[in-house]
Chains A and B, each alone.
Chain A
Amino acid sequence: MLIRNRGPARHCAAAQASGVWVLVEQQHGEPHDVSWELLGEGRRLADTLATPLTAVVAGAAEHGLEAAAGRAVAYGADLVRILEDGVLRHYRTAAYASALAGAARAHRPAVLLLGATPLGRDLAGAVATDLETGLTADCTQLAIDPESGCLASTRPTFGGSLLCTIETRARRPQMATVRPGVMPRPEPDASRQGSVIRERVDLAEHAIVSKVLAHLPEPREDGARLVDARIVVSGGRGLGRRENLALVRGLAQVLGGEMGVSRPLVQAGWAAHGRQIGQTGHTVRPSLYIAAGISGAVQHRVGMENAEIIVAINTDPDAPIFDIATYGIVADATSLLPALSDAFSRARPDPARAGEGRRYG
């Protein structure tokens, strides 16, 4: 068992690197939405640095990489580098890491961003090790430090209660992963122009140890739409009993939104992890977030505090959730939720009842 060291001669120094790269993550032809969010952020960073923004798309011929490249340009990329090879048909850490690291070594970007999805985190760690550079994971803010010209990556620490800003001064590329839903998605502009370059991928199948024997897309797990939902109704321990989660679901349905939960409910087995909102769950930025029976501990708050409007319902008037709520209601969620479902339903303009009753808007 030997230790692999590339040695300082192979490191890329700051002076030699330039350009912002964003990996467009895709599996079997489906690009992940986080890629567009990252391109939006990457555009900002590239403009600050006055360098081009490059999207990197990796996969096999059947994945429709040209189409993904086109979308990347619409979302802001100046240049797209396509890494296409049969070796990349299924995601295998070693294969993708080799391909991406190889491209980075050849072209020396200053910044490389990936989404903090399971694939992205896995790949980022492998690539950062290959390139012997710095990686900051799960960032919530990215900026260019005006003094050093470095990427200042800010992420939560100590359970989310504090933030820390991390920089990689000497090595390149400076790598960072960002969670889906943290950065806003830009508006795509189909009229944008950009170049597409196909890169040579120097990978031999026999050099990759792992073989994919089977690949099964799984049904979208419970809560998959949560991250993009405009309306989220969330329940916490204050609901008391598992059955009361149905009240949360009910209101979410009436409002055309998605249901979320705080961590204790997942731990208690009342809901799947896919519905969890918070530090170890999803981050959401809905227009409306209703927190029912949630105390608002910091681990949950970091997952929803950027919602536009927050309505908090809790029987404890001192619950921390009220510090960040737009509207606070001290009440028992189990009685208020059905009342809200009812009130919103009845407030719907009913063609049969046109002209009578309450009208909003």
Chain B
Amino acid sequence: MAMHSVVCIKQVPDSSQISIHPETNTIMRQGVPSIVNPYDLHALEAALTLRDRHAGQVTVLTMGPRSATAALRRCLAHGADQARLITDRAFAGSDTLATALVLAHAVAMLHREQPVDVVFCGRQTIDGDTGQVGPGLAGRLGLDPLSYVVEIDSLDPASRRIVVRRRLGSASQTIESRLPCLISMLEGTNQVRFGSLDDVLRAERAEVPRWSAADIGLDGSEVVGLKGSPTRVRRVFAPDPVERPTQRLETAEREPADAAAILLDALARGHPELLAELVGAEVARTGAGRTGLSC
């Protein structure tokens, strides 16, 4: 029985390369390449692995501007079978609630073309970082959300039974659920495969179909874009420069042992209590007490 997995991805700026303009404090987007959200690639690999075992199709889906087509192509180059871009000006300004709704409508459309068995999501994005779209999408579609999945232990398309292992902080669970379900993979559990030459040629030649709001039944809707987003960004600002005068210790040309002594001296002068604590010595308490952290 052929399976159909849908993988929701997002194209994001490569945040490891984003820098702030030293003068104007604005984001220097120029030259920052866009990449597929790395967490989504773990999801894609999980879907491809399922296809290895059960045959079937992997569809990649994203909501974004036209340029997000590039991210879809990369996923095709890794081996996905087909891609869909959900794009419409009406979606601009969507927060995670609205995004989850749009994706839900798109998945429902795909389901009509070919029944969807599993929806895969990455755990979070490196630009938005909220991790809300997965659970939101599951909620909308009535899918059981299986998050932080480390491995799919077994899946039986006939009986619709799936067993996964997930890691939730300090515990590991084995969970049984039913298809269709939504799975978000924990990162580091797999490595996305290198596509074959055919995959990459096919990816470059592919015409990626685009769906607008009307195509997925959200035409004129008030529940997408800014209007459908309960959260609003009120302001974006640079953090106050940390008021911390840095004391450069004169250790140039000194032997490490001397440099170490210089640091201990500086601590003795500036933070005697801390130093005492570090060396386990007794110190006369001033009565100020400790800070609120811990023990």
Tell whether, in the assembled complex, residue A335 and residue B177 are in contact, meaning their CB atoms are under 8 Å apart. no
- Do residues A126 and B145 form an inter-chain contact, with CB atoms below 8 A? yes
Could you say which of A161, A287, A336 contacts B291, with CB atoms under 8 Å apart? A287
For B244, list chain A residues within 8 Å (CB): 310, 324-326
Residues of chain B in range 140-166 having any CB-CB distance to chain A below 8 Å = 140-142, 144-148, 163
A2 to B116, CA, bound (A): 12
Contact A336/B108 with A27-B168, A211-B175 known, Cβ cut-off 8 Å? no
Q: Is the CB of A338 within 8 A of B256?
A: yes
Cα of A210 to Cα of B163 in the assembled complex, Å: 9
Report the minimal beta-carbon distance from B250 to chain A, rounded to whole angstroms: 9
Contact between chains at A348 and B279 (CB < 8 Å):
yes
Q: Does A166 contact B (CB under 8 A)?
A: yes
Asked whether any CB of chain A lies closer than 8 Å to the CB of B180, the reply is: yes
Closest Cβ of chain B: how far from A316's Cβ, in Å? 13
Whole-angstrom distance between the alpha carbons of A129 and B230 in the complex? 11
Across-interface contacts of A308 in B (CB, < 8 A):
274, 291
In the complex, the answer to whether B260 meets A167 with C-beta atoms within 8 Å is no
Set of chain B residues within 8 Å of A163, measured between Cβ atoms: 236-239
Let me know if B55 is at the binding interface, CB within 8 A.
no
A79-115 near B? 1/0 per residue, CB < 8 Å: 0000000000011111001000000000000000000
**Interface segment, one of B13-21, B46-54, B69-77, B198-206:** B13-21
Nearest-Cβ distance from residue B52 to partner chain A, whole angstroms: 24
Is there contact, CB below 8 Å, between B273 and A361?
yes
B281 touching A349, Cβ below 8 Å: yes
0/1 string, B98-129, CB within 8 A of A gives 1? 00110011011001000010000000101101
Nearest CB in chain B: distance from A346 CB, A? 9
Contact of A335 with B256 in the complex, beta carbons under 8 Å: yes
User: Quick one: given A118-B168, A305-B242, are A3 and B140 in contact (CB under 8 Å)?
Assistant: yes
Q: How many residues of B sit at the interface, in one of the four size bands?
A: 35 or more
Q: Is B188 an interface residue (CB 8 A)?
A: yes
Residues of A within 8 A of B100 (CB): 129
Q: Is the CB of B271 closer than 8 A to any CB of chain A?
A: yes
Tell me whether A128 and B260 are in contact in the complex, defined as CB-CB below 8 angstroms, given that A122-B135, A330-B248, A360-B279 are known contacts. no
Interface residues of B: mostly helix, strand, loop or mixed?
mixed
B273-295 contacts to A, CB under 8 A, are 273-284, 291-294
Given the known A-B contacts A27-B171, A119-B169, A121-B131, are A327 and B263 also in contact in the complex, defined by CB atoms under 8 Å? yes
Q: Is the CB of A216 within 8 A of B260?
A: no
Q: Which positions 238-264 of chain A face chain B at CB distance < 8 Å? A: 255-256
> Which chain A positions have C-beta within 8 A of B275?
360-361
Judging by beta carbons under 8 Å apart, are A331 and B251 in contact?
A: yes
B135 near A326: Cβ-Cβ < 8 Å: no
Decide if A125 is an interface residue (CB 8 Å cutoff): yes
- B274/A161 in contact, CB under 8 A: no
Q: Give chain A's interface secondary structure class.
A: mixed
Point out the residues of chain A lying under 8 angstroms from B104, CB to CB.
Answer: 3
In the complex the two chains form, is B279's CB within 8 Å of A128's CB?
A: no
User: A199 contacts the other chain (Cβ, under 8 Å)?
Assistant: no
Contact B231 A136 (CB under 8 A): yes
Chain A residues whose CB sits within 8 angstroms of the CB of B15 once the complex forms:
158-159, 299
The answer to whether B260 touches A125, judged by C-beta atoms less than 8 angstroms apart, is no
Chain A, 152-191, CB within 8 A of any chain B CB: 152, 155, 157-159, 161-171, 184-187
User: Is A170 in contact with B230, judged by CB distance below 8 angstroms?
Assistant: yes
| A224 interfacial by beta-carbon distance below 8 Å | yes
Q: Is the pair A132, B97 in contact by a Cβ cutoff of 8 Å?
A: yes
Q: Which residues of B contact A323 (CB under 8 A)?
A: 241-242, 246
Task: Judge whether B196 is part of the interface by a CB distance below 8 angstroms.
Answer: no
Q: Are B292 and A184 in contact (CB under 8 A)?
A: yes
A135 part of interface (Cβ distance < 8 Å): yes
Q: Is the CB of B230 within 8 A of A162?
A: no
Q: Does A265 contact B (CB under 8 A)?
A: no
**Known interface pairs A138-B129, A165-B235; 7 further A-B residue pairs with C-beta atoms within 8 A, sorted by A's residue number:** A158-B127, A167-B232, A211-B175, A322-B246, A323-B246, A330-B248, A339-B259
- 9 pairs of A and B residues whose beta carbons are closest in the complex: A361-B276, A125-B135, A134-B230, A339-B256, A129-B139, A134-B231, A137-B130, A361-B283, A159-B15
15 interchain pairs, CB-CB under 8 A: A94-B145, A122-B168, A134-B95, A158-B127, A159-B126, A165-B235, A210-B144, A213-B175, A214-B174, A215-B172, A327-B267, A340-B263, A348-B280, A361-B268, A361-B283
